[in-house]
Structure 1
C-alpha cells in the first residue's frame, strides 16, 4: 500500500500518538480477538475471518500465540535475560474519553475520561487485581494515566503508583522518597510520549460522522484503517508503530527480561503497534485488530517468548492465574495476606 507522500510532511519525532480501534469483544465473560483479513487460530495463521476467544475457564493454554523476545544480553550495560523465570505483561487501552463519547477524532489532544471511562478503568483494575505489577508505563496523555491510576485502586496488593519525574535534576531531587519501607510499597509509573495515540493531524477535533459526510466514507476509512496512509498532516499507523515499538524494545522489554511484571496503559493505535510486534502480525492483519476500551490483555513472558493469555475475566475467577505456577502462587500469597 503506497503512502501519500504529500501527507507525510511530519515525522514521528514531532508528534506523540493516537487512538486505536481494536477487537477484543466481551460476551458473557468471553473475550474475542478478531483478525478479519488473516490471523491466528490455535497458534496457526489462516486466511479469512478468525475469532480467537478466551474465557476464564477455557483459554487455549495448550496452543498459545507466541512471538520471540529480542534479547539484549550481549549488551554489557543491560542485566542478563531472566531465562529461568517469567514475567507478566498487561496491556490496557484507556477507558472512554469525553471525545470518544462525542464521536470526535482525538489523537494527541489531551482529553480526560467520561464517567463511563472511569467505570471501565475500575473494572479493568478488578480483572488484574491478582496479577503482580512491578512497574507501570503510560502515555503522556491524561486518559491513559487516569486509567492506570484508577485500575491500581482495585489491586489487592495495595501498592501505591508513584509518577516518576526526571525531566530535570530538581524534579528528581524534589520527588525523592526517603523511606526504604515506603519504597517497597510503591510502584514506579513512567510516562512516555512515544506511547501516545496516533496523531490524527487535521482531523483532530472533527466529528467522525461529519468528516465522513464531507470527504466520503471510503476516504475516511483509508485514513483510519490503512497501515501506511496518514490523515492530512498526521501519522499513519506505520509511523505510530515506529516510535511505540522502538520505545517498547529499548525501555520496556529489558524490564520484562529481568523478570519485572509490567503494565502498559496507552491507546488503541500505540497498543495495536505493540501487539503487532508481540504477535508477529502483518501490516494487513494489524489493520483489522480492534481493542476495546478498558479491557486488559495479559501476556506471559517466558523462555524468551511472549505467550498471550487473553483477558482476565474477573477477580473471582482463578482460571487465568492457573496458567503458570508463579501466578497461582502469587494469588495464593495474596489470599493468605488478606485473610
Structure 2
C-alpha cells in the first residue's frame, strides 16, 4: 500500500491521553544564581532581572488552563509564580531546593578548585541532603500530579514553580530514570518545560522555553 492510499483518522478522533501534564517553571535570577553559588534553603530574593524574567515567563504559559498551580515556599519561587500570573499558587513544601549542607552559598567553581573531579551528581554534598532524599521528595510530587483527575475526564494540567536542581531531578523521576540522570537536563532561570506523555510513556514534551 502506498502512502496515498493510507486512510487518515477523522479530525474528531482525539489523541490518546497518557495522563496529567506537569509544567515546570524555574524561578527567576537571584544574586547567587547569577554568581554560581549553591542556593538551597537560603531564602534570598529575585534580582530586578529575575523579576522581569518571571513576568516574561507568562508568555510561555498563556492559554493553558491549569487545574493546579504549586510553588516552593521559598520566596524566589513564590514571587516568580506571582509575577508569572499565579498569585494564588499552592505552597508545596516538598518542592524546596536541594539542601546543600556545607556547600550552601559556596561558589561551585571554588568547590571544583578544591577537587577537580567533583560532580554534585556523583559526590553529593557534605552535611546536606543525599540525592536519594531529594528524589524521594520529587517522587511525592510526581505521585500527587499523576493522581489528579478532572471531573470531565480530560487530562489535568499542573504547574510547578521551583528550583533548578530539584526540577531536573523531578524530570528524571517523571521519566522513570534514576535521579542522577537529572544532570542531562540543563535548565536556565525562569525557563518553562512540559512533562507529559508519548501515548502511555512518560516523556518530555518541551524543554526550556
TM bucket, shorter chain: 0.7 to 0.9
Q: Which has the larger radius of gyration?
A: 1
Tell me which residue corresponds to 1:53: none
Paired residues of 1:86 and 1:302 also in contact (CA < 8 A): no
Alignment of 1:142-157 (within 5 A): 142-152=75-85
Give the CA deviation at 1:264: 0.4
CA shift in 2, pair 1:142/1:308, >3 Å? same
Alignment of 1:66-85 (within 5 A): none
Is 2:147 the partner of 1:254?
A: yes
Q: Distance in 1 between matches of 2:175 and 2:105?
A: 32
Q: What secondary structure is seen at the aligned counterpart in 2 of 1:255? A: coil
From 187, 192, 209, the equivalent of 1:296 is 192
Alignment of 1:80-159 (within 5 A): 87-152=20-85
CA shift in 2, pair 1:287/1:84, >3 Å? closer
Give the CA deviation at 1:107: 1.0
Tell me which residue corresponds to 1:240: 134
Tell me which residue corresponds to 2:5: none
Normalised TM-score (structure 2): 0.78
Is 2:57 the partner of 1:161?
A: no
Gaps of 5+ in 1: 1-82, 153-159, 163-188, 314-339
Is 2:173 the partner of 1:277?
A: yes
Q: What secondary structure is seen at the aligned counterpart in 1 of 2:205? A: strand
Gaps of 5+ in 2: 1-15
How many pairs are equivalent?
A: 191
Deviation string 1:251-299 (CA, Å, 9 cap, x unpaired) is 2221257633210011122212221122233455333322121111123
Is 2:131 the partner of 1:198?
A: no
* Larger strand percent: 1
Deviation string 1:38-69 (CA, Å, 9 cap, x unpaired) is xxxxxxxxxxxxxxxxxxxxxxxxxxxxxxxx
CA shift in 2, pair 1:256/1:124, >3 Å? farther
What RMSD over aligned residues (CA atoms) do the two structures have, in Å?
Answer: 2.6
CA shift in 2, pair 1:296/1:211, >3 Å? same
